[in-house]
Amino acid sequence: MTAETFFANFGHLVDAPNGVQKLRELILQLAVQGKLVPQDPSDEPASVLLEKIKIAKERLVTEGRIKPPKTLPPISEDGIPFELPRAWEWCRFGALGLIGSSSRVHKKDWKSKGVPFLRAREIVKLSQFGTVNNELFISEELFQELSNGGLVPEENDLMITGVGTIGIPYIVKNSDRFYFKDASVLIFKNHYGLYSRFLSCLLRTPYWIDTIHKESMGTTVHTLTISRANEVPIPLPPLEEQKRIVAKVDQLMALCDELEDRQQMQQQGRVRLNNAALDALLTAREPDEFADHWQRISTNFDLLYDHPETIAKLRAAILQLAVQGKLVPQDPNDEPASVLLKRIKAEKERLVKEKAIKKDKTLPEVEGLLHPVPDGWVWSRFQDVTLLVTDGEHSTPPRVASGVPLATAKNIRDGYVDLRVTDFVSEETAEKCWRRCYPRHDDILMVCVGATTGRLTVIKDPEDFVLVRSVALIRPFTPGILPEYLSVLLRSPVGQNQIWGNVKQSAQPCLYIGKIKAIEVPVPSTSEQKRIVAKVDQLMSLCDELEVKLNQTEQHSEKLLEATVRQLLVA
């Protein structure tokens, strides 16, 4: 596939994840391999340019304006990263100009105004946005002193980040006046009038980034040293070709901008269409209205759900429809929920008298204003449909090397408990903890402390383990109340909104037991609960299948783009 064919297929190929960004990288890589614009045999070869640089460098040394540079090692045949066109040359970066750093500026010399003093983070922002809010400064007097004896940025010099996000270039403008932090930022003094925009393109290529990271010094923080920067092999085209390359890069980057804008507009349109379709479905009050909106979604399903990220909203809509009573038809022969709740209330009163459970605190009457429910349903509260709502051990239990697993918030996953990595407590400690909270079959475990508050699972035939304070245990009043139905409610938008609406915001979000007991529950008959759970399971399985297919489609697009990139780079 030729470059022309590739550009003709931009719209198709950039649909891959990060497609436009990869396209930008490809353009830059093709540029520095001499594959983006045709060569002109009348151009002065890069070898002549290098000779001119050498002569100019010797003159500056003789005049005492620069120190004699260190001899750079030659580039061996084995050290050539890729083949170049005939008039191009490989050279070390340090052969093209002086790479250095600033004089040390001590922290005591930092000021709140004066001459801007830039670190790597400011250079990154300048490179991205062309402007930066300066935070640090040095005095005018110190700047003048440093200017007399050190390297000061001048027009067409390159500033290059040396720590953190290394190798990011910024071309110094005529209007720029600043100093920079030693080691944090390197400077390429463009003594020999090289085309700085081509060098900036080069310093954004995957080749440059991969090379400096491969051998960057440092462990937790990458660094680019002067000596390492000096030795990076640089592909140098004739000066006139450099200008043609930059012009072509500008043209293609503008096209990438247009593609990116178009993609964003398409994505925003999809999101708006998706939100409107689901909102109409969720707010439909009459069966005919609901059926009409559902038919529209069915007709446009491939358009609405063509990206994996749209599936999350579909899942949420399914759960919301379930607890609104719109997912399965009602059966007039079902026992009304009011009868079920009366029976549960009578049974709980009996258990209180027998001292098997504690008496619940009186909570305000449920207003049932969260959304309408069908005839036969009743709004209630969690404490009215559960036998127990509690949480794990509040005090830190002593750990042992092996024994009974200790489950924390991190062990509670969506739909299962992961006990592969836990601390342990002794059997004796576990027995004490279980007097307060003993997880058993059909209990709901829900994270109630931390960023994952609201994540939950229904446990089935669990092995013994102990819970800590960050996990709440909810025991539904079975068989009348299905734990799976309460799980549907808690995972639905109406459930999650109540959870996070009652979370105490502090250093760590916390949902107290009293707030869980007060959560409002739309209660259908037991028979309808079963139908709802079965339908939710069926639809969630279909969502799983759809998500897998969409991910596979994206992976295929990504592989196609990568294969095209490889083909172009080796062509």
- Per-residue pLDDT, averaged over 455-463, amounts to 95
> What does DSSP say about strands 115-118 and 137-138: parallel, antiparallel, or unpaired?
antiparallel
Cα–Cα distance for residue pair 46/234, rounded to 1 Å: 12
Distance (Å) of CA 565 to CA 22, 25, 234, 386, 530:
9, 10, 21, 59, 52
Domain-located, residue 127: yes
**Domain final position from 183, 218, 237:** 237
Domain that holds residue 432: 337-524
pLDDT tens by residue, 313-336: 889 999 999 999 998 999 999 999
Cα–Cα distance for residue pair 568/6, rounded to 1 Å: 9
Domain-located, residue 298: no
Cα–Cα distance for residue pair 468/393, rounded to 1 Å: 4
**Domain final position from 188, 218, 237:** 237
Peptide bond into 398 cis (omega under 30): no
pLDDT tens by residue, 121-171: 999 999 999 999 999 999 999 999 998 877 899 999 999 999 989 999 999
- What single DSSP character describes residue 88? -
Domain-located, residue 32: no
Domain-located, residue 541: no
Domain-located, residue 16: no
Q: What is the pLDDT of residue 443?
A: 97
Residue 477 has pLDDT above 50, yes or no: yes
Question: Do residues 83 and 225 both lie within one domain?
Answer: yes
How many structural domains compose the chain?
Answer: 2
Cα–Cα distance for residue pair 359/511, rounded to 1 Å: 21
Domain-located, residue 555: no
Domain-located, residue 372: yes
- What is the DSSP annotation of 423-441? EEE-HHHHHHHHTT----T
Q: What is the pLDDT of residue 63?
A: 87
Q: What is the pLDDT of residue 187?
A: 95
Question: Do residues 224 and 354 both lie within one domain?
Answer: no
pLDDT tens by residue, 387-443: 999 999 888 889 999 999 999 999 999 999 999 999 999 999 999 999 989 999 999
Q: What is the CATH number of the domain that holds 71?
A: 3.90.220.20
